[in-house]
Amino acid sequence: MSVSRSNKSELTDNPSTSNNQPVDWNVLPVELWLEIFKRCPQMTIIFTLRNVCCLFRSLSLNPALWKKVDLNKWKESIMSEIMLDENCTVVQKPTFSVSQNLTSTELYRSIMPYLVNFVQRITFSQYYKDFTLASTELGLLCQCINLSHLNMGFCENVNAYSLQEICRNCPKIKILVVEGCRNVDDICMKAVSELPLLTTLNISHCADVSDHGLRYLSSMSSSLLHFVGDGVLHITNSGVYSLVESHPKLETLILDGEKLNDISIEAASFCLENLQVFHVSFCTELTDRSIIALYGKKKLKKLFLKKLSCEIKINALEGLLMLDTLANLVELTLTDSDAIVDSTAHLLSNRCRQLTLLNLNWCCLLTDEGIMKITNHCSHLVQLHLVGLPLLQGSWIPNLENKLPNLRFLDLSVCNMIMDVDVIDLVQRKTDLTAYSYYHEEVVYRKDLKLYRVYKSKNPSDTKSNESNNSSPECAGSRGALVDF
């Protein structure tokens, strides 16, 4: 039987016939409850929901909820009334008492015994003195036979012995992050090289790794796709050559350029046909040869060259742009270079129109003319970094909200000729933008009660020490290299 539109409206408007009846939670299928649980913080599940009823208790340890474990999120969860009783088991009701100092180590020891068979991804806490990989924690980790992604960045007690045990007991690891682990050295690389499925390795800021460690990696049975080694100061041309020669499928290569020169760049360009992300910090020893070596690398999506050498000339950079090599770039960083001038910016704006991030910090010869070209043509920009450009006057700022509708971040620190009022006016017009003025003061648009106002914050470094002590602990990993795969 069909119902007319008017009859449908009457049925909807009639409270007796509308679907306003209370939900009977007892008849909801388990699958629906599981979907609800997936949207809850893991600490809420394990410490609150599991105590509601038998169904919730059984669902609280469902494998689907615990494939990914991030101890940073555990730390950040509200746990003001949590204290585990050491003798509690999965079938007992935990004992609660007030404690705000429960560490991730204590949580890990209590919860992980029930997760080892199905957890696939673990990220250890990067908060200072919050997690230590001692013998108990290592033993639990080595029981995670299905582990494929392990992030131990800035974790204490990560050394040759612990990595040997992990690599021997968790052979399914594909992604390994040991960024900032101060005891990771060349012997650790020998242990890592025995992982048969490893595709991604992050050893950023592991200062004791040298060319010998990279040579161990060259003997791996698997082929690396992503290698991150920013802040590894003792790697030379020899180590880079052995790495790229033995892993020709690399798509991501991130290096510290402290002891590298043109030979490393030429080797990477020649050996890595599929290179998509190329990052070199401190390019002080590079010359035009390195830029010319990048000619034709059309698969590049992210290029990061920091502190470019004065030996790199305008012609080489403009040649790189004229060949459409960078046409597919979405992120480009070229800093500290007098070879970036208005003519370079003009070519960049014509060839790199898909950019979402552009960093031209300390390219001091750029003027408003060059930035105007960029803002007129690179309409997809989300982040624009223009720190330390003394010739900028800001003539391109009016109407910027229409030219760059996706822009969310603009850094104009140490641009002494740009007026703060122009930055504030821009943020008033584009309310989703965060900008920084000359003294690196944050300018954002915030809602205060029912009024909108521009908020200008102090430089975080100017805050008093006693205020910083009362704030939430800083994540050590936030200061390291951040790379998403």
Distance of CA 10 to the CA centre of its chain: 53
Which residues, in sequence order, are bridge partners of residue 234? Answer: 210
In whole angstroms, give the CA distance from residue 278 to residue 301: 8
Please tell me the predicted confidence (pLDDT) of residue 165: 98
Task: Let me know how long the chain is.
Answer: 485
Angle (CA) 34 69 132, round 5°: 150
Amino acid 448: pLDDT: 62
Q: Closest Cα partner for 67 from 146, 154, 182?
A: 146
Q: How far from the centroid of its chain's Cα atoms is residue 169's Cα?
A: 28
pLDDT of residue 456: 64
Q: Which residue has the tokens 């599991």?
A: 50
Kindly calculate the radius of gyration of the chain based on its CA atoms and give it in whole angstroms. Answer: 27
What per-residue confidence (pLDDT) applies to 452? 56
pLDDT means over runs of 10, the chain (485 residues): 44 50 78 92 86 90 94 68 43 40 82 93 85 94 97 94 98 97 96 97 97 96 94 96 97 96 98 97 95 95 96 95 90 97 96 97 98 98 98 97 98 97 95 95 76 57 40 40 35
3-class SS of residue 382:
coil
CA distance 466 to 476: 19
Look at residue 24 in the predicted model and tell me its pLDDT: 74
Q: Which residue has the tokens 């969860």?
A: 77
Pairing assessment for the beta strands 442-448 and 451-456 based on DSSP bridges: antiparallel
Cα gap 442→427, rounded to integer Å: 11
Distance CA 59, CA 67 (A): 14
pLDDT of residue 127: 77
Residue 133 tokens read as 């990989």
d(Cα 400, Cα 425) in Å, to the nearest integer?
Answer: 11
Residue 267 to residues 232, 248, 304, 438, Cα–Cα distance (Å): 18, 11, 17, 41
3-class DSSP state of 285: coil
Q: Which of 69, 33, 71 is nearest to 49 (CA)?
A: 33
Strand 302-305 relative to strand 200-202, pairing: unpaired
| Residue 280 CB neighbours (<10 A) | 23
User: In degrees, to the nearest 5, what angle opens at C-alpha 294 toward C-alphas 288 and 300?
Assistant: 145
Cα dist from 202 to 126, 184, 196, 459, 469, whole Å: 15, 11, 16, 31, 31
Contacts 24+ apart (CB under 8 A), 446-451: none
Q: What is the pTM of this model?
A: 0.84
